[in-house]
Chain A
Amino acid sequence: MSNGYDFAFAIGGAAGQGIATPGNILARIFVRRGLHLHAYNAYQSIIRGGHIFLTIRVKPERVDSHGDDLNLILCLNQDTMDRHARHVTPGGAVIFNSDSITPAEVQEGVQLCGLPIKDLTEDNRNKLVQNTVALGVMLNLLGVEFGVLESALGDQFKRKGQDVVDENVKMAKAGYDYAKEQFKDFGEPLPEGDKPLAVWTGNDALAMGGAAAGVKFYTAYPMSPSTGVLHWMAKNARELDIMVRQIEDEIGVANVAIGAAQTGARSMCATSGGGFALMTEAFGSAAMMEIPVVFINVQRAGPSTGVPTKTEQGDLWQALGASQGDFERIIVAPKDALDAFNTVVEVFNLTDHYQCPSLVLTDLLISEGTFSVEPDAINMQPEIDRGELITEPGDGTDYKRYLITESGISPRAIPGLPGYAHVAPTDEHDEDSVLISDEYTNPHKRRNMVEKRARKLKTFHDKVAAPAIEGPADAEVTLVGWGSTEGVIRDARELLAESGIKANQLAVKWLVPFHADAITEILSKAKKVLIVENNYSGQFYRYLRSETGISVDGHIRKYDGEPFQPHHVADGVMDQLGDKKVTRDGVFVPFQEIMV
């Protein structure tokens, strides 16, 4: 793909076979070496059994997707061998326990690395040590000196005691030495970057973004794939002085968050689509009461319980229409983990400024994906702007919480402050919170309040930049995506360039309010426009059309639960620019080769 080092490996097995540990150790070794990575874990909603397939792609520069190639796989069971050995690209290797796994057919030039685990582990009864042996083999093939693995094992197991560390080092060494004798290494040793990097998941990034933005109240009800945010918050709450509460259901969560926000705390909650469905009435109530709260919906494949552990961009219209009534909201779809961090920080300032509810719409691919990050890029002390807050006590006369102003924004007093007592109502109300139905349903007051709230977001586009084209201006095709597809589209453009097709891309992130004018201008200049999205019905396309009237030249859509790989997008572009053999009714649906 890119010219330099680009290596992808995978570990496959059943839940309970301990895939996470070698995955974590490898990730740590890479980022310490200054290498970038992106990991995607395909799994199911079970605690034991099933099939897990963790793919980690490593490069010296930023990794935009989990890629197309598999250079090395570790099969922890026969199932993984049977499903995936054939996907390993020529020059690659397949590692497996030859005592219990029969090798499957592989492509030419793929090295089968069977390990006599019983011999190598001297009949160790702990099944998990075979993973450590395999790690030794992997690092030998990658051309990494053993000391690196030794220190990584020390870090991983030191909490379990020196005996465990020693045992693992011994097993890893056995694998390392065995590989040195028996197998051919990859030739090109693992490169080194300039300075060590860190790793995080998208959910870590969302939670950290909240913490940096000054969230003092976090609440949730567990729901995949958003639960990682709760876990991070719960673990770090006491150290960071954040109040974290798990509540009985998502209806409660949203309302608890609103109560805390009205009381003055920056307040955030995360869930997935089903939970967000339960939160929607409260989402609208925050708009009516003008309370700044940030909601996060980590999309998974729906409808209903759907596929809890699979990704999709299927909740856009749910978000657009969340809650009854006609009201202002902010919806934003971050593009990767670092962007998720920065987005949460930015959206809190906007939410406080406009005193409205906001929704961060991510998906499993970002939230549960593992990403490398340069620590310097994470600003834990960003600028915090709480908007028009009244902080000094008043004399108790004439405060109007919903004062009609030119900007539509009314200065907000926090409960507890003398002289500003007021009620925040979910009923329509006048400037001083009195329900308009308490006199007669005064149509003029109603109109004024609707317009006041609507006016608030009129300045949004002055504060938030419109998306811009990335890639050559004279491209023959423009690929439009939103949220998490930015990286994979970037990789696909590289593939297309190799085939002589010039493509550029427009990655849309701020969905509501929509930069309709700017996007119309950009797309009207494009030669051909294709839309890439992770759903069946083209939710983003339909929204784009409703906001701009633009029609486009074709679509690439995937809705099987697995994320796009670069070649899926590139194949779609080539098909649509060429013979359209696979495109039906203007929609290209790529075939998912890797069955997980």
Chain B
Amino acid sequence: MATTTAPQLKAKDFKGKVDPDWCPGCGDFGLLNSVQKALAELGRQPHEVMCISGIGCSSNFPGYLSTYGMHTLHGRSLAVATGVKFANNELTVLVTGGDGDGYGIGGNHFAHTARRNVDLTYLVMNNQIYGLTTGQQSPASRTGMKTKSTPFGNLERPVNPVTTAIMNGATFVARGFSGHGKHLVSIVKQAIEHKGFSLVDVFSPCVTFNHDNTYDFFRERIEKLEEVEHDTSDWKGACEKAMHWDDKIYTGVYFQDKDTPALNEQEPVVEHGPRALAEPALTSEQGDRILKRMM
């Protein structure tokens, strides 16, 4: 669908109709800026992109872009996006949302969309808390963390999105930090260009409800994978690095499998163009063949 005569757009051309209503300082601004930049740098046009979210502060994301979008139910963005991509694989599909949306209520779709290797880019604004519902434990909340639903400290252990995604078969797994904009732009671009399911788990501090995992918390710990010895084709090494938390936390591309084809490309019916744009009526030969077979 790339239009040859289309103008090269700037990040600001990807700004939506309204300004974000996030709290000043919210980490989600960082990802929004990075995505707008990444789309401009990749030469995309707004109509070629569809951004799909669930529900949460972070899930308001599609409304702040000038692209096509859907703001679906809490936890269902990956399922809806699967339908979108299979119906029209010419669209660049971004999925945005929170840790609760993706790793909690949407956990089943997370596992299966990764396993299927649907070609989409999943950007999770992980603030280790439920922001929109005013600060309860999320599946990414650390053990011991005090939230409104764990006033005496969280007894549960948090999900590890990186190892979970790798184990579920994701073919691109990365981590970013919304305080490191440039790095994030580069990660997002690689994720979009990756053919297959890509997860970018983005540390996106909730300045209002999470006073543990702050910008400083991450700044003190983050080390970029590009700056250490790391082989992105080694899933075991990636998982080992993903286990760090208290001492240091790695951001960057953990794992990439460039060989496994995206599921939506393997389905023979897409060879005849996107199903969404196909002439709906069956041909008379198709209809006749079906009827003949009934006899």
A interface residue numbers (CB < 8 A to B): 32, 196, 198-200, 204, 208, 211-217, 219, 236-243, 245, 247-249, 251-253, 255-267, 281-282, 285, 289, 373, 375, 378, 380-381, 384, 386, 414-427, 432-435, 438
Contact = CB atoms under 8 A, between A and B. Distances in A.
Number of chain B interface residues as a range = 35 or more
A419 B47 CA distance: 7
Contacts of B109: 248, 252, 255
A423 B68 contact: yes
Scoring A219, A373, A424 by chain B CB atoms within 10 A of each residue's CB, the highest score goes to A424
A253 B278 CA distance: 22
Nearest to B49: A421
Contacts of B80: 255-256, 258-259, 262
B261 interface: no
A241 B276 CA distance: 11
Nearest to A383: B281
Query: What 7 A-B pairs come out closest when comparing CB atoms?
Result: A214-B280, A259-B83, A380-B287, A255-B79, A264-B276, A259-B80, A260-B83
A498 B264 CA distance: 61
A249 B289 CA distance: 32
B282 A425 contact: no
Scoring A211, A386, A425 by chain B CB atoms within 10 A of each residue's CB, the highest score goes to A425
A258 B79 CA distance: 9
B274 to A, nearest CB: 8
A418 to B, nearest CB: 5
Given A259-B52, A415-B84, A438-B21, A424 B267 contact: no
Given A196-B295, A214-B282, A424-B69, 12 more contacts: A236-B290, A238-B268, A240-B282, A249-B108, A252-B112, A256-B82, A259-B84, A260-B83, A260-B86, A264-B88, A264-B276, A434-B63
A228 to B, nearest CB: 14
A236 B269 CA distance: 11
Contacts of A265: 87-88, 275-276, 278
A421 B46 contact: yes
A240 B16 CA distance: 39
Contacts of B112: 247-248, 252
B71 interface: yes
Contact of B280 (A216, A239, A281, A418): A216
Contacts of A214: 279-282
Contacts of B47: 415-421
B291 A263 contact: no
B170 interface: no
Contacts of B46: 421
A242 B278 CA distance: 10
Given A266-B280, A375-B295, A438-B18, A415 B50 contact: yes
Scoring B50, B86, B108, B282 by chain A CB atoms within 10 A of each residue's CB, the highest score goes to B282
B90 to A, nearest CB: 7
A416 B91 contact: yes
Nearest to B21: A438
Given A237-B269, A251-B76, A263 B17 contact: no
Nearest to A380: B287
A263 B76 contact: no
B72 interface: yes
B73 interface: yes
Contacts of B63: 423, 425, 433-435, 438
A245 B1 contact: no
B86 A217 contact: yes
A256 B281 contact: no
B82 A259 contact: yes
Contact of A216 (B91, B278, B286, B294): B278
Contact of A282 (B73, B277, B284): B73
A219 B76 CA distance: 15
Scoring B66, B90, B290 by chain A CB atoms within 10 A of each residue's CB, the highest score goes to B290
B29 to A, nearest CB: 16
A144 to B, nearest CB: 19
A381 B290 CA distance: 12
B33 interface: no
A275 to B, nearest CB: 14
Nearest to A204: B294
Contact of A260 (B84, B111, B286): B84
A450 to B, nearest CB: 18
A289 B87 CA distance: 18
12 contacts: A198-B295, A240-B282, A243-B267, A243-B275, A252-B82, A255-B109, A380-B284, A414-B276, A415-B47, A425-B71, A426-B73, A432-B17
